[in-house]
Structure 1
Amino acid sequence: MGKRQLMLLISLMLALSVFLAACTGKDDKEDAGKKDPGKDKEKTEETEGEDEEAEAKEELDFPLDVSNTDAVIENGTLNYALVSDTPFEGTLNPVFYSGAPDADVMQFFEEGLLATDGDYLITNEGAAKYEVSNENKTIAITIGDNVNWHDGEPVKASDLLYAYELLGHPDYTGNRYTYTITNVEGMDAYHKGEAEEISGIEISEDDKTITINYIEASPSLMSGIWTNPVPRHYLGDVTKGDVTIDDIIESDKIRTTPIGFGPYKVEKVVPGESVQFVRNEDYWRGKPALESIVLTVVNTQSVLKELEAGKIDIAEVPADQYLNAKELTNVDLLAKVDLAYTYIGFKLGKWDDKAKENVTDPDAKLADKRVRQAMWHAMDNEVIGEKMYHGLRFPATTLIIPVFASFHDADNPGRAYDPEKANALLDEAGFKDVDGDGIREDAEGNEFVLNFASMEGGEVAEPIANHYIQNWADVGIKVQLTDGRLHEFNSFYDMVEADDPKIDIYQAAWGTGSDPDPSGLYGKTASFNYTRYTSEENDRLLAAGTSEEAFDFEYRKGIYDEWQELMVEDVPVAPTVYRYATTLVNKRVANFSIDPGSDNYYPWVWGVTSEDSVK
C-alpha cells in the first residue's frame, strides 16, 4: 500500500526493500518520499543501449554522500522529516503496513534478519546467516547471537515462522501474500485452512534456525525472500487463538508501542504526526551513533523553510521544489534514480475477495486496448518532467525500471507522445465525434466520459492532472476528475482498492522493491494489481520469470523483454515518468549516504557533528 505508498517507498534495505508499497501523495501526488533503495547512478550509467533521453538524465551529476567528514558527537539527536501532506497511517508492522510513510517510520526500529548488498541481493552480513541447498529449493537461516527484541526477549526462528503464518493465514487481508510466500511448500493448504501448519517450514530444536522449502527454485529467492520476523510473544499467537489478525491490526502494540530488533526503539508515537526514537543499547551490531531520532511529519509547503531554519536535518524533498532547494546553503543535496515510477491505471475489472484473484471484465468501459494505447500516446510526459519537475523526471517506457539495468528493455520505446497516432487508434476503434462538439462518442455512438482519480500533494498535483485531462481532450476524449477534485492519499487508495465505480482511470505510483519480478504488482492473484488486468500470456510470462529456468540470465531477460512488450501492447497501465529522488541533509550530519552499496546507507551509522544544526 489498506493504503499504500512508496508506491515510492517501498522498504529500506531492511528487507522491507523486498516488498512493494504504494507511493504517498507528495510531489507528484503519489510521493517520492519512500525509502525504497535504488541502484546508484554510476551503476545505472554502465547500462548500454539506453535511449538518448535516458542517457541524458543519467548524466545528471548529483552526490550520493554528504560532504561532512568530521567525527560525530556521542549523544546527538537527529531530526528527520517525513515529508507528506497526509498523516502516516500508523500500521507499524512489516506484515500489515501498506504505505510508504509507515515504511519510513519503520526503518529506524524494524529490519530483516538478512542484509542485502548494493544490488539488493541477500548476504551473510546481517543478524542471521543463510545457506541454500537442494538445488536452490531450500534455504536455512540461522540467527546470530545477541539478536534481541527491544523488550529483551531473543529473536527466534519461530518468530520468522510467525511472519509466514500471518502472511498465509486464511484471515490475512494484506497485500503481501505473493509469489515468494505462495511458493513455500504447504503454504497453499495452510492458506486454505486445510492444514494447521506450513509443512515446508521447519524450526530447529534450539529455535535458532529456520529451514524453508520451496515448491520450485527461483532466482527471486536471492532478492525477494521475506526475512522480517514478528514477535509472537509480544503480539499474541493467532495460530493458538490468543488473538485475531484484526486484533493485531488495531492493537497499540503495532500502532503506538511497536517493537523490533533494529538500532532504535520507539519511545513515543503521536499518531499520524511524530515518532521519538531512542538508541537501542543492546543492538546486535553495537551501539548506534545517535542517542535519539525525532521523526516529524512536515508538509510539502513548509519543508524548505524548516530545512533552512535548521529545524530538520534530513528530508526527501519534492522535485517540484528543486530550484529553490538547490539554493539552500546549509544543506547537501543528494539524488539518485529511484526504485519507482508513476503511472496511469485503467480500471478493467474487479477483485474477487472470495477467490483472492483479479477478474477482468470483458465489457469494461476501457476494454478496447486501442483506446488505452491512444490515451498513452496522447500524454505529453516530457513536459511533465522538464517543466514541472525541472528535469528530475523523464518519460517512462516500460514497467521494469531502468534501475534494473539487466532487465529493463532499453530498446523498447513504449508509446511516445504522438497525438496523430492517438487519433488514428481512436478512429480505428470506432470512437468518433458524432455531434461535432470536438468530443468523441464511443463505438456505439454513446457519450463517452471518463472519471479520473488523482491525489493531492505538492504544488504540481493539480496542474499535472489538468495537463493530462487537456492532453486527452486534444484527441477528443472527455475526462473529468472523480468528484470534481483531487483526493487525499488514504481516501484515494481506499477507493482504488475497492474498485469504486466512480473511477475509470487513476494516477498513482509504485515503489518496486528490490526484486525485478513484477508479479506482485501485475499477477492474477496480486491484490496490488489495481487495474484488475489478467491474461493467459501475462500469467505465463510472470511464472516463467521466476521459474527454475530463470536462473539462466539470458532466459530471464528474454522473458522480461517479452513481458514488457506485452504490457506496451495491452496497456493495463501507462507508465508516465521515472524519477530522481532528492534528499536534503543538514551539513551537521555525517556518515550518511543514499547509495545502498555504502555502509553509510543505514541509520545506525548516521550521526551529527554538533548539537546545533547548521543554519
Structure 2
Amino acid sequence: DKKPGQGHVDPKTAAIMSNAPGIKVASVPGGSTITMPMLADKAPFSSQDFRLALKYAVNRAELRDKVFLGHASLANDHPVPTFDKFYNADIPQREYDPEKAKFHLKKSGFEGTKIQIHAADAAFSGALDAGLLYVESAKKAGIDIEVVREPNDGYWSNVWRKVPFCYCYWGARPTPDLMLSLAYICGAAWGDTNWCNEKFTNLIAAARVELDEAKRKAIYADAQWILHDQGATIVPLFQNIVHGLSDKVDTGGQMSGAQPLDNFRLFKKWSLTA
C-alpha cells in the first residue's frame, strides 16, 4: 500500500505522456491521501495550537499545482474524499493563512521553535519538493522548518512512525470506517501520530454499528470536524489516479477514483476501439 506509483503514473511522467502520439492521459479525482503526520505525544506537536499553525501554514493550492501539476484535489485535514457519501461539506476548506498560523503559533507558546520535516520520494513522488515549498510558506507565518532528506530505502521502517514529523501517503479505502479505524482512532494498528481522542474513537465505533444511514452520516460529520480541528495529521491533498492509455482505449464513461484501473474493473468496463 505504500507504493503510490503502482497502478498509475506520476505527474511528471503524465506531462510527458500527454504529448506522445497515440497516448491519452486520464486523471481521475481519487481518495488516496497525501499526509503529514505529527507525533502528538512529542512537543511541540503535542500542542493543538501548534498543530493548527502548521495546518494553516500549508499552501495546498501551490502544492497541488507545482508538485502534482494539477493532478490532485484539496483535502481538509481528514481522509474522507469529497465524492464519498459521508463527506462533510459543511466544514470550510482550510486555506493557506499565514496570519491565522501566526495566531495559533503564538497561542501555542512555541514561537521561535525550529522543527524538522522528514521527506523522501518513497513517501510520494515529489515529497522533497513539497517540503521545500512548505519551508517557504511556513516562513511567512514565522515558522522555521528544515527539510531532512531521507533515503528511500528503509523510509517506511526507519522514518515513518519514528520521527516527529514527516511525509506519508495512504491509499484509498472503500469505506470511511476502514481508513479511520486503521490509522486515526486510539490505538489504531497503523496509527502514525500517537494521537488519541476518546470522543472521536467512540464516534467511529458508533458509526460502525449504526444502521440508519442519515444518523451514520451525522456521526461521521462530527468525526471529520474533530480531525479537522484537533487531529495530528495534516491532510493537504487527495491524489488523482492518473493513467496513461492508448487512444484506442474506451473507458466507458466516467472512471472510478476509488482505486487504480477504474477500481480494478477495467476488464469489465474498458474496451478497444478500431
Equivalent pair of 1:342/1:508 in contact (CA under 8 Å): yes
Q: Is 2:255 the counterpart of 1:595?
A: yes
Residue 204 of structure 2: aligned partner = 542
C-alpha displacement of 1:317: 1.8
One-letter code of the match for 2:126? Answer: V
TM-score of the aligned structures, taking structure 2 as reference length = 0.85
SS at match of 1:551: coil
Residue 452 of structure 1: aligned partner = 117
Q: Deviations over 1:42-75 (max 9, x none)?
A: xxxxxxxxxxxxxxxxxxxxxxxxxxxxxxxxxx
Q: Counterparts of 1:77-156 in structure 2 under 5 Å?
A: none
Residue 556 of structure 1: aligned partner = 216
Q: Is 2:35 the counterpart of 1:343?
A: yes
Distance in 2, matches of 1:514 and 1:465, equals 29
Distance in 1, matches of 2:187 and 2:269, equals 39
Q: Is 2:156 the counterpart of 1:493?
A: yes
Residue 204 of structure 1: aligned partner = none
Residue 514 of structure 1: aligned partner = 174
Distance in 1, matches of 2:173 and 2:60, equals 24
C-alpha displacement of 1:602: 4.0
One-letter code of the match for 1:537? Answer: K
C-alpha displacement of 1:335: 2.3
1:593 to 1:419, Cα distance in 2 relative to 1, 3 A: same
TM-score of the aligned structures, taking structure 1 as reference length = 0.40
SS at match of 2:215: helix
Residue 296 of structure 1: aligned partner = none
Residue 141 of structure 2: aligned partner = 475
C-alpha displacement of 1:526: 1.9
Structure 1: unaligned runs, 5 residues or longer: 6-23, 25-30, 36-315, 349-360, 433-439, 441-447, 611-615
Q: Counterparts of 1:261-410 in structure 2 under 5 Å?
A: 316-348=8-40, 361=41, 364-397=43-76, 398-404=78-84, 406-410=85-89
Provide the aligned C-alpha RMSD in A.
2.9
Residue 108 of structure 2: aligned partner = 429
Residue 185 of structure 1: aligned partner = none
One-letter code of the match for 2:79? Answer: L
Equivalent pair of 2:12/2:69 in contact (CA under 8 Å): yes
Distance in 2, matches of 1:385 and 1:535, equals 30
C-alpha displacement of 1:460: 3.5
C-alpha displacement of 1:513: 1.3
Structure 2: unaligned runs, 5 residues or longer: none
1:585 to 1:467, Cα distance in 2 relative to 1, 3 A: same
Which of structures 1 and 2 has the bigger CA Rg?
Answer: 1
SS at match of 2:138: helix
Distance in 2, matches of 1:430 and 1:467, equals 25
C-alpha displacement of 1:607: 7.7
1:323 to 1:602, Cα distance in 2 relative to 1, 3 A: closer
Distance in 2, matches of 1:534 and 1:603, equals 42
Q: Which has the higher helix share?
A: 2
Count of equivalent residues:
266
1:575 to 1:589, Cα distance in 2 relative to 1, 3 A: same
